[in-house]
């Protein structure tokens, strides 16, 4: 093929792309942090002895895991304001949608981690006179953390790449800026290649880090 590569386009717009990367990182960090907390609440609800609470939490996780993330993002950005009268910026809407979506997956990881700590550990804590909450905080959760760290790492790596989807509501992150630049410069091949490489360069070490977490967990049992 006689295609003339013009990578100088990429060099010229690198600061714009890296500025987009900063938004991607910010959105990922914010959504992950929020979903780690929300997921904990949801997992406690799913483990609650109170049936109605458990039911609500189950519907919540099933629904968020059973609908496309793209639909959730568009719904939060375009539909939620009609319902509530409150309009959020694209960034905030994206963070809300990603947090809700992730919290469903994170809560499942937590739930599995908590359940994997044997009933015996809980009983030993209760027999000492601990409350259910103290047993959770002092005995169950510290042991669960080691088990949930690898799967949470996987979720993080997926999230980092999946944020590209929020370009549909014009959050000025890496993907959106790539899209705009490719139109402005008429150089989609160079620009999208550069965008892919930037995602890969940032994601790859993290993915390897997660592999290492899994390996360590496997060795230590």
Partner 1 sequence: MTDGLERASGNDVLIEVRGLDKAFGDLQVLRGIDLDVKRGEVVVIIGPSGSGKSTFLRCLNRLEDPSAGTVRIGGVEITGHGVNLPQMRSRVGMVFQQFNLFPHMTALENVMEGPRTVLRLSRGDAERRARALLDKVGLSEKAGSKPANLSGGQQQRVAIARALAMNPDAMLFDEVTSALDPELVGEVLTVMRELADEGMTMVIVTHEMSFAQRVADWVVFLDDGVIVEEGRPERIFHRARQERTRQFLDQLHWDAELA
Closer to partner 1 by CB, 87 or 124: give it.
124
Q: What is the smallest separation between the CB atom of 217 and partner 1, expressed in angstroms?
A: 14
Give the containing element (helix H, strand E) for 80: helix 80-84
How far apart CA 65 and CA 79 sit, in angstroms, is: 19
Does position 69 bind partner 1 by CB under 8 A? no
Does position 147 bind partner 1 by CB under 8 A? no
Closer to partner 1 by CB, 86 or 120: give it.
120
Does position 116 bind partner 1 by CB under 8 A? no
Does position 131 bind partner 1 by CB under 8 A? yes
List 143, 154, 185, 203, residue binding partner 1 (CB under 8 A): 143
Does position 68 bind partner 1 by CB under 8 A? no
C-beta of residue 178 within 8 angstroms of C-beta of residue 19: no
How far apart CA 217 and CA 110 sit, in angstroms, is: 16
Which whole-number Å values give the CA distances from 7 to 104, 174, 190, 194, in the listed order? 41, 18, 6, 9
Query: Contacts with partner 1 in 155-194 (CB under 8 A)?
Result: none
End-to-end Cα distance, the chain: 53
Q: What is the smallest separation between the CB atom of 137 and partner 1, expressed in angstroms?
A: 9
Does position 83 bind partner 1 by CB under 8 A? no
Nearest to residue 71, comparing CAs of 79, 83, 62? Answer: 79
Residues that bind partner 1 (CB under 8 A): 120-121, 123-131, 134, 138-139, 142-143
């Amino acid at each position: 093929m006689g295609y003339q590569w013009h990578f100088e386009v990429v060099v010229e717009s690198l600061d714009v792309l890296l500025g987009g990367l900063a938004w991607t990182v910010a959105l990922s960090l914010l959504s992950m942090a929020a979903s780690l907390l929300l997921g904990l609440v949801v997992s406690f609800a799913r483990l609650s002895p109170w049936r109605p609470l458990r039911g609500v939490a189950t519907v919540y996780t099933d629904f968020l895991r059973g609908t496309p993330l793209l639909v959730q993002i568009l719904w939060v950005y375009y539909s939620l304001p009609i319902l509530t009268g409150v309009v959020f910026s694209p960034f905030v809407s994206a963070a809300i949608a990603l947090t809700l979506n992730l919290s469903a997956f994170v809560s499942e990881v937590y739930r599995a981690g908590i359940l994997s700590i044997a009933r015996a550990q809980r009983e030993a804590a209760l027999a000492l006179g601990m409350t259910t909450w103290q047993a959770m905080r002092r005995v169950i959760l510290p042991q669960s953390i080691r088990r949930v760290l690898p799967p949470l790492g996987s979720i993080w790596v997926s999230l980092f790449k999946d944020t590209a989807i929020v370009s549909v509501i014009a959050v000025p992150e890496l993907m959106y800026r790539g899209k705009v630049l490719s139109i402005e410069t008429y150089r989609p091949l160079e620009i999208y290649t550069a965008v892919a490489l930037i995602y890969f360069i940032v994601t790859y070490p993290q993915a390897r880090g997660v592999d290492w977490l899994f390996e360590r967990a496997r060795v230590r049992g």
